[in-house]
Amino acid sequence: MLHQGKSQNDADITTEIRQEIMEDPVLSTDAKNIIIITTNGHVTLRGPVDNGDEKRLIGLIAERHAPNGSADNELEVQLTTTK
């Protein structure tokens, strides 16, 4: 299990990523509620998103804020079914 780093730098990176995600009007509620873990400058993204575009966009956001683009995108695209 990963844990959020305790440094101010890690907290700042996580906050910056979260803020950019929350400000994007295109992203779903699921996407805005993902887990962002930053440890020693390395970002890991986890949780469900609605589609591949959201997964890709959030990954790009994380890479922009992580030092050296150091981000693992472990987001999972939710499968939707129609009745």
83 or 79, greater pLDDT: 79
Using a 10 angstrom Cβ sphere, with 0-12 exposed, 13-18 middle and 19 or more buried, the burial of residue 3 is: exposed
Give the residue carrying structure tokens 């699921």: 30
Cα separation of 75 and 52, whole Å? 9
Query: What's the pLDDT tens digit per position in 25-66?
Result: 999 999 999 999 999 999 999 999 999 999 999 999 999 999
Which amino acid, residue 31?
A: A
Residues 6+ apart with CB under 8 A from 68: 41
What's the pLDDT score for residue 75? Answer: 98
